[in-house]
Chain A
Amino acid sequence: MSGHVAPVRRPLIEGSKTYHQITEDICRPTETAPSVSWIIAFIVSVICLGMFVFGVAWTVWVGIGSWNLNRTINWGWDITNFVWWVGIGHAGTLISAILLLFRQKWRTGVNRAAEAMTIFAVICAGQFPLIHMGRLWLAIFIFPYPNTRGPLWVNFNSPLLWDVFAISTYFTVSLLFWYAGLVPDLATVRDRAKGIRKKIYSAVSFGWNGSAKHWQRWESLSLILAGLATPLVLSVHTIVSFDFATSVIPGWHTTIFPPYFVAGAIFSGFAMVLTLMLIARKVLHLEQYITMEHIESMNKVILLTGSIVGVAYLTELFIAWYSGYIYEQFAFLNRVLGPYYWSYIGMMLCNVISPQIFWSKKLRTSLFWTFFMSIFINIGMWFERFVIIATTLARDYLPSSWSYYVPTWVEIIIFIGTLGLFFTLFLIFTRVAPVVAIAEVKSILKTSGDQYIGPNAHHGHHVPAGANDLSAGSTVDIDDDNTTK
């Protein structure tokens, strides 16, 4: 059965699952009462969400002056947080779209949760451009709609407007892609449910019945949406980087920004996926579907993108020096040695130096180090955006207008509040929808289940029956043994 699988491939589904067991395992969290840890996490998240609502209400009521932005530093935590969240929102589509095109089977274990995370992260990101306008109720002005002011249109030449289109398109397409994948799995939940749950899941699963023609169209749709989402996901952070790169501020006006931002976005997105998945697999008992193989694959992507980001940082410094242009040179010297030197150190440490530990197979297959690094990278990528935005603005053209910026409590609780918004949405998602793509995991069972390939395969001769319940949660090295040449 595993005739088409290279012998070096390791299993992606452990525990000799049958199709029915896969259904049972993945549907279970939606059918049982929430655990105590879930309830505590949910309460904490909702409290943080409350802080967000309060912070935004305060900003609207008192005015944008309740933030510490000033004439010199007119973008601070707001746009830092925006770019940070958009970056996090890149992993989901990358995993589901680009890895689908590359036929990477390991995507099936993590794509659903990663896409959900993408959507929630983009929701969080979208808050900041709206709030930072101050007059939230005029946010509709960003859309080109016929109006009584002429009609006076928006400026289609502005990268800020490109951003509006990029983010809204990205959100819409990600949502459609995610939901199209969810429909068959919601039908699975429906067919197991009773009473009012059955009614609800009947409506949300759109009457899916799994007919051959529907599956064929569904696969075709997934593939084309993946084809469209791939350039889209690259375009979104490219356009976010244009917000800076098309300006004439030294330190922002660099051609390296688009690829550098895209790599950084994938980097931070994967870190956040890992943070969430390491918790989710443990709490929801999905260790046999989100295996060490998945975690290691993601750590490899982190190592690659982290190194690309590192090269970009160094290239910036090199080009600033090589250009012979004193203002550019000053901008970068200021980043490294200026008043915000600590954030530059934080960025370098978290994003470039520490991910290098993943060259070691032992460390990239360690749950502890993976979790530790995922948090570290999230912090580092926040610092990166802060360095680019606040540090650059703090020392602008005229020394007389140089300034320093620390956020007010309002800005801080709005940021913490978006974390609350994000986790509230994610926690609800884990209760109402299958966190792993059931149908897609079933479709790779025969090529990636551990009863078919790997050391525990039934055609193997050294494993007694029943010994293949090795928990993926253990950090036992599972290499060499199954990479039979």
Chain B
Amino acid sequence: MDSAEPILSLKGIGKSFYGNRVLADVSFDVGAGEIIGLVGENGAGKSTLMKILFGMPVISETGGFEGSIYFNGKEARFKTPFDALDAGIGMVHQEFSLIPGFTTTENILLNRESLNSSVLVDVFGPRISTLDRATMESRAKSAIAKLGVTLDPNMLIKEMPVGHKQFTEIARELCRENVKLIVLDEPTAVLTESEAEVLLSTLRLLASEGIAIIFISHRLREVVELCDRVVVLRDGHKIEDFPAKGSSTKQIASLMVGRSMEAQAKIDAASAARSTQSDSDARETILSVENLWVDMPGETVRNVNLSVKKGEIFGIGGLAGQGKLGIPNGIMGLSPAGGSVVLNGTPVELNAPRAALERNMAFVSEDRRGVGLLLDEGIDWNIAFTAMQVQNQFLKPILGGLFLWRSDAAMSNLAEEYIKLLEIKCTGPGQRAGNLSGGNQQKVCLAKAFALRPDVLFVSEPTRGIDIGAKHLVLDTLKKYNSEYGTTIVMVSSELEELRSVCDRIAIVYEGRIEGILPHTAPIEDFGILMAGADRDETTVALVGGN
């Protein structure tokens, strides 16, 4: 299906956000009728690349990009997504961008409706023309027909099953006259296995009509099955570009997560240094989780069983949306949960944050600004509040203990102590947490958890959105805290490298279940396979197909 002239050709694309490089020298071509699978871990640069292609305003606002894009033989530098659409690039988003109260037809033809002309239009301009419903419906029908599926053109979006919504999105892109390239971002993530099958065959049909497709997915099996070529991104670099035929999911997975030699050596050295203390089998179990389910939107946990040894740093990894974030949120009572969580031999009450805190567990949330901080209060309040409310610290009894008086001085001292210890850059303990930078906010969140002197500390995405220097400090602090106080730490992170450099054992979550638990010394390919859930594809089909 390759044509001589590529329809899209990316040459040396690079981009950095505020000095933080996310893409470097990425080049590849897409021919007409070709299906390219674009894969990479979270943060590998896939979405940034697509934002550049689409001329999203966020790119030009942050200083533009390097390199050049050739579309249809001409150099293209789209200023807005509208330019990209006009040029013939369609985009199907991960989140549905459909209007729930409109019908299929209305959504497909939004802003491109067929119009009736009348005298009034001649006088007052096209804004008052009426819709030509009959033509619209036939246009929508022809777009749907190209997909090879049946959709009711008059059905409201909100009444549709998820799969039909996805097809409506694609039909909308197809309905443009000159569409030559369609980008699909995780189109199958929300579909059942059978719906995904239909979608894949639809995509093949479109490709055979000469439309080029860029397919972004975490489901590697689909990528291998569907695509002509696979482009692997890792840390903003293009790692490989090879024909999908004959490759295996295992091979792609290892390319996705594999690290550069130095980084690998560093991790190995760090692992070796810690290997003496990782005789975790000998230690007693502090926390055991059985049949845990957590109803956390976007991070559903279905059935998790794991046990954490006293004093270890236990890592939980996995791709976004597989449920790794749901585990600490469920155990700490922040999201509705069920199952059994046993700490030190006694069960922990679920769905009750206070009960979890009183059992000496602490949680540093991934949602710093939403859950982790009182943005309008000072650093001292932020650090001391939980310890004050749960453990009655920083309180002076007055009138013989009838009332508990807040000791601002003690809170301030505590804040001073942590500001020094964690190198929090601020004007003083009274500075509002909302005015701190991301890294310093994260340090405040850690200090809040440390102030509780927990037995088990859950840390969720501790380095998300903070700069490299702060990252190192946060991770080092966690390690130090673990070795000095013997605190058991459960660390959830999307960054496998980070988990491997800090944790003793790492559990990988896939589709709400623990796919496997590996020691940090295990080869990186093994982690990649677990993350992609490759081993279980057959069972998954059975499970998902069943509902």
A and B bind: no
Q: Which residues of A contact B (CB under 8 A)?
A: none
